[in-house]
Amino acid sequence: MIFPRNMTNSRRCRSSETPERKPMPQYKYSRDDYYRLTNAPCLDVAKALGMEINERESDRKSWKIKGEQGLCIYREGNGWYRFSDGQHGFPIDLVKDKLCCSTEQALDFIARYVVNGVSEQVNIPRRTVPPEPEKPREFSPPEHDISPKRVMAYLIKTRGIDPEIVKAMIQQKMIAEDSVHHNCLFFGRDENGVIRSCALRGSTDVKFRGEAPGGDKSCTFAMAGNNDVLRLFESPIDAMSHSTFTKLLGKDWTADHRLSVNGSGNYESIKRYLANHTEIKSVWFCYDSDQAGRDGAEASSSRIFEDFPDRELSVMLCSPVKSKDWNEALQLFRVFESRGVTAREFLAPTEFRSIPPPECDEDEFECGL
């Protein structure tokens, strides 16, 4: 059978045609540009977002941001941390958190207002739509089946905490060492001794702190006492540093209750501890001496009086003046200790700020211990 030429050609053409390929995805930013954007200085990103630095509260480790619920930007590592809720990350995460936007939109923002050096101030509207709630994650503490040698060395030698206190917390299974990353693990146990939360702190030169996801914020690291005094701290290391000062003064460091709330904005753990310890009559806020610490103490103290109106609780504030927190004060004291300075001399009234109750005796007022 003879086919028409045009028909033969058409069939031959169709048989020789290659299938149509889908176009390759076109990425908006090259690999080099993506690297530049994600590594933009975190402080510059914060300024582009309209955030204001609190120069007075900033220290050699971080810049403090006004009106952002305890947000700080680290001078090393290009990261940020918010003490009120434990959120942390890198510059792109800060943009996504502030603007409630996608990763691509965050990259566009950094490309326009930070990396390319646009000088105009961005008018950032407040969030009108709350972010979608995260799906609850099942809590599981990191593996900790190794000897806590690194953690002990870090807490004792680097942080200056008394060895007896560190060993006691390890024996009580309140502290352990991460089997993989060798981080310090500070456990929050409930009334039955079950681990409900875990705060993490790096034990090497790499600055790291955070919390294991899915933890119960109402159940945090605590050092149970045997009297009617509860002292509140922003971190477990501060709580143990305060215990060290107490021992250096010749007092019983196990007498007072000490609770780490993991940031000045967490009130739930305070409420739970007070509800479970009806013997508590005196509450001391030993928070950091920055604005976030003062604001957190005032907010939580008001809620204490609201939630426990029938209990005659006295609430006081006690924070180091010339140091950011209690561990920074302890490390500074270790320097003066080598020069013959005693703990009582170091904890002079000029070194600490305290608001005591009217009936507080002079000795207790001197150092707030």
Q: Is the distance from CB of 279 to CB of 271 less than 8 angstroms?
A: no
Q: Is the distance from CB of 47 to CB of 122 less than 8 angstroms?
A: no
Residue-wise pLDDT tens digits, 120-169: 444 444 444 455 555 667 888 899 988 999 999 999 999 999 999 999 99
Residue-wise pLDDT tens digits, 306-321: 999 999 899 988 887 7
What is the predicted pLDDT for the residue at 194? 95
% the chain with pLDDT above 90:
42
CATH topology of domain 149-367: Dna Topoisomerase Vi A Subunit; Chain: A, domain 2 (3.40.1360)
What is the predicted pLDDT for the residue at 154? 95
Task: Give the mean model confidence (pLDDT) for residues 46-61.
Answer: 86
Residue-wise pLDDT tens digits, 343-353: 888 876 433 44
Residue 5 pLDDT grade (very low, low, confident, very high; cuts 50, 70, 90) = very low
Least confident residue range of 57-61, 150-154, 210-214: 57-61
158: Cβ contacts below 8 Å, ≥ 6 apart: none
% the chain with pLDDT above 70:
79
Decide if pLDDT at 74 tops 80.
yes
Decide if pLDDT at 358 tops 80.
no
Domain boundaries, the chain: 31-115, 149-367
What is the predicted pLDDT for the residue at 126? 45
Q: What is the SS3 string spanning the chain?
A: CCCCHHHHHHHHHHHHCCCCCCCCCCCCCCHHHHHHHHCCCHHHHHHHCCCCEECCCCCCCEEEECCCCCEEEECCCCCEEECCCCCEECHHHHHHHHHCCCHHHHHHHHHHHHHCCCCCCCCCCCCCCCCCCCCCCCCCCCCCCCCCHHHHHHHHHHCCCCHHHHHHHHHCCCEEECCCCCCEEEEEECCCCCEEEEEEECCCCCCCEEECCCCCCCCCCEECCCCCEEEEECCHHHHHHHHHHHHHCCCCCCCCEEEECCCCCCCHHHHHHHHHCCCCCEEEECCCCCHHHHHHHHHHHHHHHHHCCCCCCEEEEEEECCCCCHHHHHHHHHHHHCCCCCHHHHCCCCCEEEECCCCCCHHHHHHCC
- Of 269 and 356, the structure prediction assigns the larger pLDDT to 269
* Class of domain 31-115 as given by CATH: alpha beta
Task: Give the mean model confidence (pLDDT) for residues 260-288.
Answer: 93
- What are the distances in angstroms from CA 229 to CA 23, 80, 130, 310? 69, 34, 39, 17
Structure tokens at 21: 């390929």
